[in-house]
Structure 1
Amino acid sequence: MKTILWATLTANGNYAQSGPENPPKKEALDDFFTRAKTAGNFIVGRRTFEGMRGNGGPGPFADIDIVVVSSSAGDIPGVQVVRTPEEALDYLKGKGHQTALISGGADIHNSFLGQGLVDELIFNVAPVLEGRGLNLLIDKENYRYKHVQLLDCTPLGGGVVQLRYVLENSSPVHN
């Protein structure tokens, strides 16, 4: 199964934190919706999922398998809740998915990256500088490097630039 980590970063490299003063860019959200529909799924952490849920209802994700990775969440109607990244991937494989879209937040991204479970990275660089922020990490303990190969660089509009990379030891797959 191909795993794609999808994230929005600030222009100064932080993991973008959305909020009332800095809402997500429409162009990046539109890209996410398109990729989630294509994959037929996405994996997300509990806090990010709760933020996405808004007023409830399925919205644009009615026909998409949503997997929430959480060590503390109980059942959440309409989604599969698992405890680990491996369980999330196993669940999606069992449903016949060929691609898993890992969509957020920082803890989930870092968990998948740290365990070597990511094949491709999609970074949407938003035109904003952030004074404080979270980082995407492949290793919290050591200074480790993981080389990537640029597959594509695409302006999405609204000042958002999308960078698509394949991680070393993965096979580049072009859309």
Structure 2
Amino acid sequence: MKTILWAALTANGNYAQSSPENPPKPEAFADFVTQAQAAGNFMVGRRTFEALLAGGGESALDGLDIVVVSKGAQAMPGVTLARSPQEALAFLERRGHRAALLSGGADLHNAFLEAGLVDEIIFVIAPVLEGKGLNLLIDQEKYTYKNVELLDCKPLGGGVIQLRYAVGR
């Protein structure tokens, strides 16, 4: 199964932090929905999923297999809980998916990367600068990827661009 990591970043490389005062760029959210619908699923951490629900964006994702990956989450209606990246992927594979979309957050992204479970990365870059926020941090001693290859670069509108990379192993 191909695993695609999707992340919205700021122009200075931080994870784009959204809030009611600073909602996600519509072009970035539209790209996420497009990617999730193409895969038929997405995997997400508990806090990121709760933020998605609070922002009212879940209706665009009806009919998708949603897997919340969390060691401590309690049952959540309409989603499957997985305790590890491997468990999440095994569930989606059993459901017949050929690709899995990995969305936020940073800890979850790093868990998949460190386990060597990411085949492609999609970065959607928003035209903003943020002084605080999370970075994609990789433990250099555990991380084994060597190269990424740019597959595509395209504008999404509103100054938002999408970069798509294949991950070398």
Alignment TM class, shorter chain as reference: over 0.9
Shift of 1:148: 0.4
Contact persistence 2:124–2:160 (CA under 8 A):
yes
Shift of 1:22: 2.4
Query: Which residue matches 2:147?
Result: 147
DSSP-derived class of the 1:90 partner: helix
Contact persistence 2:114–2:144 (CA under 8 A):
no
Contact persistence 2:9–2:123 (CA under 8 A):
yes
Q: What RMSD over aligned residues (CA atoms) do the two structures have, in Å?
A: 1.9
Structure-2 change in CA distance of 1:144 and 1:86 (3 Å): closer
Q: How does 1:20-169 map to 2 (within 5 A)?
A: 20-54=20-54, 59-139=59-139, 146-169=146-169
TM-score normalized with structure 2 length? 0.93
DSSP-derived class of the 1:104 partner: coil
TM-score normalized with structure 1 length? 0.90
Shift of 1:139: 1.8
Contact persistence 1:69–1:84 (CA under 8 A):
yes
DSSP-derived class of the 2:113 partner: helix
Structure-2 change in CA distance of 1:16 and 1:93 (3 Å): same
% same residue: 65
Shifted more, 25-34 versus 137-146: the winner is: 137-146
- Aligned residue pairs, count: 169
Summarize deviations over 1:20-70 as a string: whole Å, max 9, x none.
332111001111111111100000000010111127795122210000001
Structure-2 change in CA distance of 1:122 and 1:53 (3 Å): same
Structure 1: tracts of 5 or more residues without a match: 170-175
Contact persistence 2:5–2:109 (CA under 8 A):
yes
DSSP-derived class of the 2:8 partner: strand
Structure 2: tracts of 5 or more residues without a match: none
